[in-house]
Amino acid sequence: MISNDGWFAEAQRCPSPNFNDRPATDVDLLVLHNISLPPGQFGKGYVQAFFQNQLDPAVHPYFATIHSLQVSAHLLIDRHGGLIQFVSLDKRAWHAGASSWLGRPNCNDYSIGIELEGTDDQAFSEAQYHTLNAVVLQLYDRFPALNRQRVVGHSDVAPGRKTDPGPFFDWARVPTGAPG
């Protein structure tokens, strides 16, 4: 269930400072990503620290290259299917960067960003697909302009710059429409 202020009741709240108000526009795009910190490692809490501007650059050499970035997503689905929310669905998370969809720039303005804990070279877990599908169906209900044709990868809105969610993401498993 999604609250009136845009938070999933079942999600762990991990508020990020990296968001702002959306322009007056409807949410009509869902952008799927993958992330792991350090690259290829899961379940260490570094993604949460990164989205909260608390990533310690001394912990891993890769962190020194990204710790000053200010980014976020609305949601993260961990390898066990856990749902973590960083930004209200009613606000603009900073997930897509320089992006466009069907000629329309600045995808952050009109999209929801979901990170799946993973990499371009590994399959996602059954638990992640289970949670993703439950979330997507709730998003279809909350945002009537969303449908399966408007669920895309980061690679689709930032081609040549991004490759996620990667070739191991099973697009056939994304729900096509609202339940019942």
Supply the residues annotated as catalytic: 115
> What number of other Cβ atoms are within 10 A of residue 125's Cβ?
18
Question: What one-character-per-residue DSSP string does 73-128 give?
Answer: -SEEE-TT--EEE-S-TTEEES-S-S-EETTEE-GGGTEEEEEEE--TTSPPPHHH
- The reply to whether omega before 165 is within 30° of 0 (cis) is yes
Pairing of strands 111-117, 29-35: parallel
Question: For residue 132, what is the enclosing H or E element?
Answer: helix 126-142
Q: Which residues contact 77 (CB under 8 A, 6 or more apart)?
A: 83, 84, 114, 115, 116, 117, 128, 131, 132, 135
Using DSSP, state whether 40 is helix, strand or coil: coil
Pairing of strands 91-93, 19-21: antiparallel
Q: What's the start-to-end Cα distance of the chain, in Å?
A: 16
